[in-house]
Amino acid sequence: MSEESPMLRVEFFLNTEYHYAVGHYGTRFFTELRDHARIMGMRCPECGRVYIPPRPVCGICYRELQEWVEVGPEGTIVGWTVVRIPFIDPMTGEQRPVPYGFAIIRLDGASTSLYHFLDETDESKIAVGKRVRAVFREQREGSLRDILYFRLLED
């Protein structure tokens, strides 16, 4: 039990790569984002909820989703934080530079929210209910990184 006792341990390192399919709906979403800087959601024919990320069925009504609608690029902060603890970015395997802001954002016209970065790390300037706008990358590649971050709008 004592941490001073000379207990032995062996060390292993595991370095693996993953390749995830974005799927039919994700591909359509990211193609729109890449080619037109448009953020698209899908509307449920039963309850009218507009889903981001897009998906084949409404989880609540279990109805098939077919109607695409444009949402954003502005939205409202539902939750936010400024991350100060260093951690490994799973996209790169490298330590993420801190601090950085991130938020749960309800895009205009959407019923669910998106996790994304904020371009602000001053806690006193961020609040639930504040308005934000997506800042798109110039050279887009077809991933969520095509949105660089969300910028806080003036009150």
Partner 1 sequence: MPRRVAIIATGQTKHAARRLDVNIRELISEAVIRALQDADLTMQQIDAVLLSNMEPFEGFLFPELWAVEGWGGYMKPSVKFNTGGTVGTTTAIAAYYYVASGIYDVVMAIGFQKQSEGHTQTAITTVGDPIWERSIMAGAIGNFAVMATTYMHESGVTEEQAAKAAVKARRNACLNEYAHLQMPDITVEDVLKSEMLAYPVKRLDMCPQSDGAVAVIFAEESKAQRLCPRPAWVKAVATAHEQQYMGDSPKRLAEMRSLIAASRRAYQAAGITNPRKELDVAEIYEVASFAELAMYENLGFCERGEGGKLIDMGVTELTGELPVNPSGGVMSTNPIGATALIRVAEAALQIMGKAGRRQVEGARMALATGYGGNAWTDIMILSREKP
Closer residue to partner 1 in complex, CB, 70/76: 76
* Choice between 37 and 83, CB closer to partner 1: 83
User: In the complex, what is the shortest distance from the CB of residue 50 to partner 1, in angstroms, rounded to a whole number?
Assistant: 12
Minimum distance from CB of 88 to partner 1 (Å)? 5
Strands, sheet with 50-51, edge to edge from the N-terminal-most edge strand: 50-51, 39-43, 67-71
**Whether the Cβ atoms of residue 27 and residue 41 lie closer than 8 Å to each other:** no
Minimum distance from residue 13 beta carbon to partner 1 (Å): 10
CA distance 107 to 95: 29
Nearest distance in Å: CB 129, partner 1 = 7
| Cβ distance to partner 1 smaller for residue 12 or 155 | 12
**Number of other residues whose CB lies within 10 A of the CB of residue 96:** 15
Of 37 and 104, CB closest to partner 1 = 104
Buried b (16+ CB within 10 A) or exposed e, 111-143: bbbbebbbebeeeeebeeebbbebeeeeebebe
Dist CA 126 CA 34 (whole Å): 28
- Chain residues binding partner 1 by CB under 8 A are 1-3, 5, 7, 9, 12, 14, 18, 20, 22, 26, 51-53, 59-60, 78-85, 87-92, 96, 102-104, 112-117, 123, 127-129, 143-144
Nearest in space to 102 (alpha carbons), one of 78, 86, 136:
78
State the nearest-atom distance from the C-beta of 87 to partner 1, in Å: 5
